[in-house]
């Protein structure tokens, strides 16, 4: 059980300006804390956030609601948020190419008809069909109505008598903070994530 907890990404990493920049495993967080490259936040609600160095962290009492791991010296709390000491930037990153992000880029609209689609009504269309060497990239994929995509088949839009509303494009890079998600519903992360 402890091994699984140590290797699940449940620790939010903040830069020295307390901006969210990454997610790490508790094992990684313990290494950063032990080498003084990060401090953990002792978080108890939005009003109580105390940066705590490794030596002091080891002395904190383990409460019933805390995730912890056993060691030869006793149980140690697993931090949920750490602050790196010598890093102030917020990295930029392009959203990952997937159907959800493609849907967001296209605003949930068919890129041939402009019709607003409900989830499940559309699918991914390769502007240049894969059978013709088209790639699965931001620049070659759009959201299309199922019936329009079926009509188009393995033809180009021109061959199928269709016209794109706008040329597909790769989204701009955004601060990585905008892409971080609290998939484990950790309450201590909420003050640091964009909603």
Q: Running DSSP on this structure, what letter comes out for residue 105? A: H
Vertex 118, ends 113 and 122: CA angle to 5°?
55
Quote the pTM value: 0.69
- Note the pLDDT tens digit of each residue in 85-141: 999 888 888 889 999 899 999 999 999 999 999 988 899 999 999 999 999 999 999
- Note the pLDDT tens digit of each residue in 144-175: 999 999 999 999 999 999 999 999 999 998 88
> Number of helices (H) and strands (E), helices first, in the chain?
5, 11
Q: What are phi and psi of 33, to 5 degrees?
A: -70, -45
Please list the residues that pair with 121 across neighbouring strands: none
- Go through the domains of the chain in sequence order and give each one's CATH number: 2-92+175-192 (no CATH), 99-152 (1.10.30.50)
């Amino acid at each position: 059980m402890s091994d699984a907890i140590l290797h699940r990404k449940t620790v939010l990493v903040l830069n020295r300006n307390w901006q969210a920049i990454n997610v790490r495993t508790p094992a990684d967080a313990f290494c950063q804390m032990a080498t003084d490259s990060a401090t953990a936040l002792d978080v108890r609600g939005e009003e109580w956030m105390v940066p705590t160095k490794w030596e002091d962290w080891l002395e904190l009492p383990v409460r019933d609601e805390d995730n912890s791991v056993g060691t030869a010296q006793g149980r140690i709390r697993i931090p949920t948020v750490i602050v790196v000491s010598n890093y102030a930037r917020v990295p930029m990153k392009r959203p990952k190419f997937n159907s959800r992000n493609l849907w967001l880029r296209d605003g949930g609209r068919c890129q041939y008809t402009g019709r607003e689609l409900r989830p499940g009504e559309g699918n991914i269309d390769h502007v240049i069909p894969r059978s013709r060497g088209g790639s699965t990239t931001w620049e070659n994929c759009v959201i299309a109505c199922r019936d329009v995509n079926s009509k188009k088949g393995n033809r180009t839009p021109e061959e199928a008598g269709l016209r794109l509303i706008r040329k597909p494009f790769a989204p701009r890079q955004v601060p990585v903070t905008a892409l971080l998600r609290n998939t484990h519903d950790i309450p201590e992360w909420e003050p640091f994530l964009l909603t």
